[in-house]
């Protein structure tokens, strides 16, 4: 098993859900955490807990991954000691709405595509050249079972996750020979703020998504991310597809 102690782990969307929990899991490994999200206050609230959990250091900064110029300037402005990123976790992402495609809102489509696809590309483009130069690094991106099979009302979100799968696959080919590793972690339903964000704060509707079944927890996903990142340097985990026992694919659930 490779050690993560002292490694620089950069997580986008670390202010909530899977990202925040993944930060905690890497903290337990003694990593140095470089954390970004739009809500800097939320990141700052988590700092002490991460240090107490074992993080060697924590550096938080505000970032909107949809803003290409901001991504470029924020990454270039990082203190030199935070530049050699060992692990990038492309986690920032969201879904908006559950409308039929032909009734969908253009602003919802744009927000999902700008965040989940273009944001992923901007951050990857800013970080991977340094990994290639140094001859080491690992890009772990959050895909989804939604990227494999669409579900009703989810066409655009599912398409963004299908894009993630193929961008990840293409990146793995492009870095072949550089020792940079590339992984997609593809969970099914995980209970986080995801549904609340999807339904713009309608908590009753969000709660229904998880009713009558046991969803994955953010800890389940964080464990898979840390596991992939801690394999020996010659082992590349290409994809981890994981669901709760109550989910078979994007559309089949066992609700009690």
Q: Is the dihedral of CA 13, 182, 166, 118 positive or negative?
A: positive
Q: Which range, of 45-53, 87-95, 129-137, 166-174, touches ligand NAP by CB under 6 A?
A: 87-95
Q: Which of 222, 215, 181, 220 is nearest to 50 (CA)?
A: 222
CA dihedral 192, 195, 200, 201 (to 10 degrees): -60
**Is 122 marked active-site?**
no
Q: Which range, of 12-20, 98-106, 235-243, 246-254, touches ligand NAP by CB under 6 A?
A: 12-20
- The answer to whether residue 15 forms part of the interface with ligand NAP (CB under 6 A) is yes
Residue 132 vs 155, nearer CB to ligand NAP: 155
- The answer to whether residue 99 forms part of the interface with ligand NAP (CB under 6 A) is no
- The answer to whether residue 183 forms part of the interface with ligand NAP (CB under 6 A) is no
Residue 2 vs 61, nearer CB to ligand NAP: 61
Q: Which range, of 127-135, 171-179, 190-198, 227-235, touches ligand NAP by CB under 6 A?
A: 190-198
Q: Is the dihedral of CA 209, 211, 217, 220 positive or negative?
A: negative
- Which position among 56, 197, 240, 242 is part of the footprint of ligand NAP (CB under 6 A)? 197
- Longest C-alpha distance within the chain, in Å? 53
CB-based contacts of 197-200 (< 8 A; 24+ apart in sequence): 197/94, 197/95, 197/96, 198/94, 198/95, 198/96, 198/97, 198/98, 199/97, 199/98, 200/96
Q: Which residues bind ligand NAP (CB under 6 A)?
A: 12-13, 15-19, 37-39, 42, 63-66, 91-94, 115, 119, 142, 144, 187, 189-190, 192-194, 197
């Amino acid at each position: 098993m490779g050690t993560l102690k002292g490694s620089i782990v950069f997580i986008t969307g670390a202010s909530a859900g899977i990202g925040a929990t993944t930060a905690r899991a890497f903290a337990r490994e003694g990593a140095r955490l470089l954390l970004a999200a739009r809500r800097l206050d939320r990141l700052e609230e988590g700092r002490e807990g991460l240090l107490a959990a074992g993080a060697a250091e924590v550096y938080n900064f505000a970032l909107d991954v949809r803003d290409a110029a901001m991504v470029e300037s924020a990454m270039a402005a990082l203190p030199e000691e935070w530049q050699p990123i060992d692990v990038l976790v492309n986690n920032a992402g969201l879904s908006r709405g559950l409308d039929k495609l032909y009734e969908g809102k253009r602003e919802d489509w744009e927000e999902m595509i700008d965040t989940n696809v273009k944001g992923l590309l901007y951050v990857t483009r800013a970080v991977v050249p340094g990994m290639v130069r140094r001859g080491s690094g690992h890009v772990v991106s959050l895909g989804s079972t939604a990227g494999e099979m669409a579900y009703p009302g989810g066409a655009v979100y599912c398409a963004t996750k299908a894009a993630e799968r193929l961008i990840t696959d293409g990146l793995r080919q492009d870095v072949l020979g550089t020792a940079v590793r590339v992984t997609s972690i593809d969970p099914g339903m995980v209970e986080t703020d995801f549904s609340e964000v999807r339904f713009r704060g309608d908590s009753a509707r969000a709660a229904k998504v998880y009713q009558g079944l046991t969803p994955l927890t953010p800890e389940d996903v964080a464990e898979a991310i840390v596991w992939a990142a801690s394999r020996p340097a010659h082992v590349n985990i290409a994809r981890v597809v994981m669901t709760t026992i109550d989910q078979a694919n994007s559309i089949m659930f066992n609700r009690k």
